[in-house]
Structures are given as structure tokens and as C-alpha cells.
């Protein structure tokens, strides 16, 4: 029973770690999107100055680089997210199985206690029968 409870606790810890990683990924993704939005806003404001501006050209290059990096990061995050979701499903299934195992162990312990009680009663009956 103790081993099952320790296993169950380990699985819950793994689940919490996976959930924390997932939240970190979401936060990182949000920061990237905010940075891209800031660059786009700056480029839109600078657009009034004329298309030949060095600033606009450098912003356009930066936006292009950010788009490429964003796509790369998006693919990486998508793949990592899929992996984390699979681990999360596996962990959830393992937690469910551990819970069911705990119930079975509890039932088995109760059955053993009942059997031991019956054995003691039978032994007492046997002792009484020999005394008479």
C-alpha cells in the first residue's frame, strides 16, 4: 500500500512538472508574439516618413527575420507541446491506474483482515471444542 501511494505521489509530481513546462512554453510564445507586434507597430508608424527610409528598411528586414524565427519557434513549440500532451495523457492514465490499484489494494487489505478474523474465530472454536 505504501509503495502504491509513493508511486501515485511520484506520478502527481510528474504531472505538475509537465503542467509547469506547458505554462512556460505558453509564456514564451506570448512574449514572442508581443515582440513581433511591437515591431509591426513601429514599422507602421515609420511608414509615414517614406519608403526609402533606412529605418523602415531595417524594420522590414527585422520583421522578415522575426517571421522566420517565429515560424521556427512555432514548429518547435508545436512539436514540444505535442510531446508534453502525450506525456500528460500517459501520466493521467498512470494516475488513474494507480488510483484503481489503491482501491484494489484497500479491498485486498480488508479481505485479508476479514480472513484473519475468521481464522482466529475458527481457531478459538477449535480450542473450545477440544476443551469440552
Please state, in angstroms and rounded to a whole number, the distance separating the CA atoms of residues 43 and 45.
5
Please state, in angstroms and rounded to a whole number, the distance separating the CA atoms of residues 60 and 62.
5
All residues at 6 or more sequence positions from 46 whose CB lies less than 8 Å from its CB, including other chains: 53, 55, 56, 59
What is the domain range of residue 92?
2-104
Q: Is the pLDDT of residue 5 over 70?
A: yes
In a domain, residue 117? The reply is no
How many domains does the chain fold into?
A: 1
In a domain, residue 75? The reply is yes
Q: Quick one: cell of 102? A: 489503491
Confidence of residue 116 (pLDDT cuts 50, 70, 90): very high
pTM of the model: 0.44
In a domain, residue 126? The reply is no
Please state, in angstroms and rounded to a whole number, the distance separating the CA atoms of residues 24 and 83.
15
Q: Are 67 and 43 in contact (CB under 8 A)?
A: no
In a domain, residue 54? The reply is yes
In a domain, residue 112? The reply is no
The predicted model gives 86-101 an average pLDDT of 90
In a domain, residue 125? The reply is no
Residue 14: CB atoms within 10 Å: 16
Give percent above pLDDT 70 in the chain: 79
In a domain, residue 73? The reply is yes
In a domain, residue 100? The reply is yes
What pLDDT score was predicted for residue 117?
96
pLDDT digits (tens, 9 = 90+) for 14-57: 888 888 889 888 887 777 667 666 766 776 676 655 555 566 55
Amino acid at each position: 500500500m505504501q509503495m502504491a501511494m509513493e508511486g501515485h505521489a511520484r506520478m502527481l509530481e510528474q504531472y505538475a512538472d509537465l503542467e509547469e513546462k506547458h505554462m512556460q512554453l505558453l509564456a514564451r510564445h506570448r512574449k514572442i508574439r508581443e515582440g513581433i507586434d511591437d515591431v509591426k507597430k513601429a514599422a507602421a508608424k515609420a511608414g509615414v516618413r517614406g519608403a526609402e527610409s533606412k529605418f523602415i528598411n531595417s524594420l522590414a528586414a527585422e520583421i522578415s527575420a522575426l517571421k522566420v524565427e517565429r515560424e521556427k519557434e512555432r514548429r518547435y513549440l508545436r512539436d514540444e507541446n505535442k510531446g508534453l500532451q502525450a506525456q500528460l495523457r500517459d501520466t493521467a492514465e498512470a494516475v488513474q491506474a494507480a488510483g484503481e490499484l489503491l482501491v484494489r489494494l484497500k479491498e485486498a487489505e480488508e479481505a485479508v483482515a476479514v480472513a484473519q478474523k475468521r481464522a482466529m474465530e475458527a481457531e478459538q472454536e477449535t480450542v473450545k471444542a477440544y476443551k469440552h
